[in-house]
Structure 1
Amino acid sequence: MALKLWERISQADNVFQSLRPLTYISLLGLAPFRLNSDKEVHTSVFSFVAGIVHFLFFVLCFAMSVCEGDSIIGYFFQTNITKLGDGTLRLTGIIAMSTIFGFALFKRQRLVNIIQNNIVVDEIFVRLGMKLNYRRILLFSFLISLGMLLFNVVYLCVSYCLLLSAMISPSFVTFTTFALPHINISFMVFKFLCTTHLAKSRFGMLNEILQDVLDAHIEQRSSLELSPMHSVVNERYVHRVRSFISMPMQRYSVTSIIRQNPEYAIKQVSNIHNLLCDICHKIEEYFTYPLLAIIAISFLFILFDDFYILEVLLNPKRLEVFEADEFFAFFLQQMLWYVVIIFLIVEASGRTIKESSHSAAIVHKILNITDEPELRDRLFRLSLQLSHRRVNFTAAGLFRLDRTLIFTITGAATCYLIILIQFRATHHMEESGEANTTHDFFLN
């Protein structure tokens, strides 16, 4: 019974079924559309209303927590710098939430276009005798969604238990204001992971088609001097792609379509690559400002969490009656949460960019082998297209979403952390000077 239920849940024959986990977050308003099996994407009024209610609920809790003057760091200790950090995090938090819900509700057509363009790409693959392994994409989506859900449940439960262990009982509005941004940031990152994985999978199939054309020419030119062109690396790459990304359709012969008519295959590859670049461009347009807000607030949380930990290490009396272990555990896990979020964003975009970059190398290997004029002309055009239309993801054009971002954030956080420590030292010197002046005044 359980096995049949699992087979039914994991069954996916089209792009809509492979995005089934993405529709679940529509209940919270972060994906205001519904997917039908008739290859159409419809906006959902219920999800749109749910998104507005969700955002208004957060604004209400945020306003009440501000009026009460409560915050998580305020429960532990308060200094001028912690007040500055708390105010900065509040401001960036409301901006990030507004950006996330604004793009989810009012820019939803771009997300719909991403799905529709993927449908067109899949139809072209069918003409070439290829079909995407939708079940594997569905399992990837389920795995990511369950991982994000478990990650947030454990994080929020542990955070609340740590506060209770430190004899802190946060109010409902304060903890809700603390928890909702984490949940919504996770959902937005989950959408980014799903959409980039769709593009990455199709780039993998495109590279498989090009590799099949290369294999066909290598087999035709069976002379010994051409054998090094078929490297062991490519064999492993093709085996991995064929096993895990795509599968030939039984009603088509891949050899007859791709290998016997490589000019037609290269022409379709050019169309697919053009559509995939459009998809990646729309992904960047849809996620550019939400990801900018997420990375900005992640950077600030990492920076101030580091400072709070150093503040307590340098001045243990700050905690007074509170337990230091709970304090360190709370802010350390909060910092690690945002580090994981940045890592997921960077890896998702980086893997898609890396997969798209394989095409140029395969195209030039085919050019080095083939002497057919028409095929070479198609390959030259495709090579020119690959050089001019490169996949790239940025945050509002300010910085690239690749692994260099981790190095940049690390350097910037270290620099600003040193500045905050200097402000702390100056503040303590001023307090000591005022105390000494007051003491001398009373002595005189």
Structure 2
Amino acid sequence: MSELTQNFTDRLFDNYQANLKFQAVENAVTHNGLLKSLETRQSAVENDHVFSVDLTKDAVSNQKASGRCWMFAALNTFRHKLITEFKLDNFELSQAHTFFWDKYEKSNWFLENIIATADQELGSRKVKFLLDVPQQDGGQWDMVVSLFEKYGVVPKAAYPESISSSNSRELNQYLNKLLRQDAQLLRELIAQGADQETVQAKKEALLEEVFNFLAMTLGLPPRSFDFAYRDKDNHYHNDKNITPQDFYTKYVGLKLEDYVSIINAPTADKPYGKSYTVALLGNVVGSREVRYLNVDMNRLKELAIAQMQSGETVWFGSDVGQFSDRQSGVMATNTYDFAAGMDIDFNQDKAGRLDYSESLMTHAMVLTGVDLDQDGQPLKWKVENSWGDKVGEKGYFVASDAWMHEYTYQIVVRKDLLTQGELAAYEAQPEVLKPWDPMGALASR
């Protein structure tokens, strides 16, 4: 290995001090911060909030200090449908309701995988992967579908937010503490030679403790409720004693099996036109597996545009923190000019960023519009976020097409938009990726 010599460092000092631009940028950055000093005017000019396809201006939701973006994004696609079909004023479905059942199911998923890996050394990579994060707020499209299919949905008024759903840090800390303790109890019980029936009985006793903890922390979710509302024509409606499952069927009514996840992962190990799943990724034992079809980015964007042109918004996952200005809501590859300011060129390609752990999907939002040129090609995209209405344009963000190309990894679209070949590839036996593959990332920002 080569050490850093004093002569080398002295040369760096001399070169820096001879560069007047660096000194000017140093003054700006040390007083105003890195990104504010490098922010460009051009990105704001190019990415205004006017779109040729614009599906909604409904008020945005706010996930607050929690990693529930994947739930918010899915429920937002539903609520736009409800607002239109039932002539509602601003309306939200309960994100906390989905959150409760996700925590409950993820706890069982974790304990079942602890049992399944009990024959492996405690230091094995799979066991360590499970114990590092027994559960978290983040998730994937197929995971939220599993929750909707099993537990339905409810209006926010029927199961409102709590302190712990809006700010989940303490809940996650102590739930994970409990689950790691439970993992030790189960592994030790199995090591003592306990039979399967005894192990399952112990797991169920531990899950009752988890359920009670969640109910006391988040509130006990309703098994049935009354749904009353007055529509925009001033007509009163009241649905008595409806279950969450029946509410979904009656008021949402989407056939979730008709929707598929499309990804863009341009790495050498994932050829396009094939389906993939990820080991140890999920939440509801016995439900549909997480499955993706990998396509090139131009095709991914074509599918998203086609769904919006049919009048339906699009759940999508991206690396939201890359070259984005949270306050203005602009996400563009030219938001910050490191090249002009610092002589630094971030030119790693999308595959390289995935392979070298620089980027992956971190956040789920909703595509609600797109601006197309005269040839039907996208210029910029309208994005409904779930960070409240104090950022962006009343909570809506805008992504340049170049940014979408580089930092979007997943969309969810209807099966009928796929070609026969694409659908066959999606439905083929998927290749199983390792648990730590970047395509196993959970949206959690």
Query: What TM-score, normalized to structure 2?
Result: 0.21
Structure with more of its chain in strand, by fraction: 2
Which protein is bigger by CA-based radius of gyration? 1
Structure with more of its chain in helix, by fraction: 1
Larger relative contact order (Cα-Cα within 8 Å, sequence gap ≥ 6):
2
Query: What TM-score, normalized to structure 1?
Result: 0.21
